[in-house]
Amino acid sequence: MSNLCNLCNDEIGMKFCVSCVFHICNECYDNLTKLSCPTCRKSLKKKIYFAGKIGIESIENYDSGNRILVTNTKQDLTTRKTSLGIKLEQEDKIIKLSEFLNLTYKIPIIEKKKHFLTGPCVVLTENFEAQHGQFGSDILQDMVPYTDILIKRNEEMIKNSEIFILTINNEMDCFCSLKEWGIALAYGKIMILDYLEIDNIGEFYTFAQDSLQCFEKINPFDRDAIINFIPNFKFKNWVLYKQYLKEVINKKNINKKNIIKKQEKPPEEYEEIDFTDDEYIYMHH
């Protein structure tokens, strides 16, 4: 079967649609007025879960499509703007805290411009408001009393996804997200490690290997399509993303060699250690 684009019959096409064998090249995909398959008319959008540290900076940018908003206060949320001029979510895309805590209520999958958002949620305090066009520093709800519910909700949203994207923050303290990676991997999701700009990037070499092995199971002609599904992704195709993953793994190898070299270098002199009488008797017993 030919892998040429079924629209222009010129460029190599990719299987964006999971329901049929219609192939579309990157250029024709970008020119689609609606992200639906020209043949079966089903949506070409993928369901994505964006894992990573949730902080104030994430709230200010949630309109990019990476968070589902949870709050008891919907005051002016459809018209307020931050100092950055970012438009807030529409009211029908905001979940009430009471709904979030009620496990019989299913977290909705939110349709965005180029993807479906399955999670995660960011829970705001009841007193949330934007003063003078800016968010306050105490807008995040303390979720410790609801830890059991939060864990179940995160797993629910991960199960709803097709693609799992992990972004590591510079402090590398997004511990819940690291746990979520394992959950998504166990569910067989498409694993994406977002671009990192940290010194010890090599410590995530196993994550890079997980992503590589995930893409090995995908038809080579369809890998670029997966990359195209990711909004605002820094890599334009599979080749560039694969190169990045291998660089992460190589960073670990380089760091390991440097550690071995340091260990092999003998110290210039050893410090004398004074033992107590009891320690000396124990060692020579």
Domain boundaries, the chain: 1-44, 45-264
Q: Which residues of the chain have pLDDT under 70?
A: 1-2, 54-65, 73-93, 126-138, 196, 254-285
- What does the chain come to in residues? 285
**Does residue 231 have a cis bond before it (omega within 30 degrees)?**
no
- Cα–Cα distance for residue pair 263/268, rounded to 1 Å: 13
Give CA–CA dist 250/188, Å, rounded.
25
Q: Residue with structure tokens 């999701």?
A: 189
Q: What residues contact residue 53 under an 8 Å CB cut-off, 6+ apart?
A: 167, 169, 171, 173, 174, 177
Query: For residue range 52-64, what is the model confidence (pLDDT) as tens digits?
Result: 876 555 454 444 4
Q: What is the pTM of this model?
A: 0.79
- 5/15 Cα distance (integer angstroms): 9
Res 199: pLDDT:
73
Each residue's pLDDT tens digit, 153-174: 999 999 999 999 998 877 787 8
Residue 93: phi and psi, rounded to 5, are: -105, 10
pLDDT of residue 272: 47
Q: What is the pLDDT of residue 222?
A: 86
The dihedrals phi and psi of 270, each to the nearest 5 degrees, come to -100, 140
HEC letters along 222-249? HHHHHHHHCCCCCCCCHHHHHHHHHHHH
pLDDT (0 to 100) of residue 138: 64
Residue pair 175/197 in contact by the 8 Å Cβ criterion: no
